[in-house]
Structure 1
Amino acid sequence: MAMWLSDTEKIGVGLTAFGLFFMLMGVMMFFDGGLLAIGNILFLAGVTMVIGPQKTMFFFARPQKIRGTICFFVGILLIFIKWPIIGILVELFGFINLFGDFFPVIVGFLRRLPIIGNILSAPGISKIVDRISGQRLPV
C-alpha cells in the first residue's frame, strides 16, 4: 500500500529542502548570516508542516533531548544576532543531538539509491559510513 503525502506535507518537504539548501549556501558563502537565517526559518517551517505543530513541539520538548533543543535554538539565535560562525557550530551540535537517531535510517535510504548506493557501498567508504551512522555489521 502506497503512502501519499497531503498538500501541506508536500509543501513542508519543499520548505525543508530549501531550508537545508539555504543553510548550505550560507556556509559556502563564508557564513553569510542572511542565508543561514532564511535557511533556519524555512527548515523549521518545513518540519512543522510535515509533522504538524503539536508533534513538532513534542519533538523539541522531549526531556532526553533538551540539551540538543537548547543548543539548536541558541545557535539560531546567535545567527540572528550576527554571530554566524559560532551560531552554526552550536546549532550543528544541537542538530546532531536532535536528529542523530535518524542517521542510520537516512544512510539505509541512500544505500538503496542507484548511484549513491554504489558509492556508499564501496569497500573503503562503507566502513566510514557505517561508523558515522552507528551501524554495526556482524562479523
Structure 2
Amino acid sequence: MGLTGFGVFFLLFGMVLFFDKALLAIGNILFVAGLAFVIGLERTFKFFFQRHKSKATSFFLGGVVVVLIGWPIIGVVLEIYGFFLLFRGFFPVAVGFIRRVPVLGPYSTSQGLVE
C-alpha cells in the first residue's frame, strides 16, 4: 500500500510542479509496482491484459512509456484516459463505499445533510 500511496503522491506532486519528468516517472514506477505488490503479479497481469481492456491498458501503459521518454504532458493525458477506462467499473463501488462512511456519506448525496 505504501508504494502505491507514494506513487500517487509523486504523480500529483509532479503535476503540481509543472509536469516534472523525474517526479512523474518515479510516481509511475512506484504506482505500478505498488499495485503489483498489493494484488499480486499474476492478478495484476490478468487485470491489465484482459482482451476487453486492451485499449485501456495500451493508453495507460503507453502514457507511462511516453512520460519515461520525456513528454510528460502528453503522457499524463494518456495515463489519465487509460486510468478512467481501466477503473470505470470500480467507481460505482467506491461511491457506494463513500456513501456508507459516516462523515462523508451525507455530503455525497444530492440532498446534502438533510435526510
Long gaps (5+) in structure 2: none
Would you say 1:119 and 2:94 are equivalent positions? Answer: no
> Which residue does the alignment assign to 2:24?
36
Superposed counterparts of 1:14-93, under 5 Å: 14-93=2-81
Identity of aligned residues (%): 50
Q: In 2, distance between residues paired with 1:55 and 1:118?
A: 35
* Alpha-carbon distance, 1:39 to partner: 1.0
- Alpha-carbon deviations, 1:92-112, whole Å to 9, x = none? 111111111100111112222
- Tell me how far 1:47 sits from its aligned partner: 0.7
Deviations 1:44-85 (A, max 9, x none): 111101111111111111000000001111100111111111
The residue type equivalent to 1:36 in the other structure is: L
Quote the residue 2:96 is aligned against.
108
Which one-letter code corresponds to 1:88 in the other structure?
A: V
Amino acid at match of 1:76: V
CA drift of 1:40 comes to 0.8
- Residue type at the aligned position of 1:86: I
Q: Number of residue pairs matched? A: 112
Gaps of 5+ in 1: 1-12, 125-139
Secondary structure at the aligned position of 2:90 is classed as helix
Q: Which runs of 4+ in 1 moved over 3 A?
A: none
Give the alignment's Cα RMSD to 1 decimal. Answer: 1.4
Q: Structure 2 CA distance, aligned partners of 1:115 and 1:105?
A: 18
Structure-1-length-normalised TM-score: 0.75
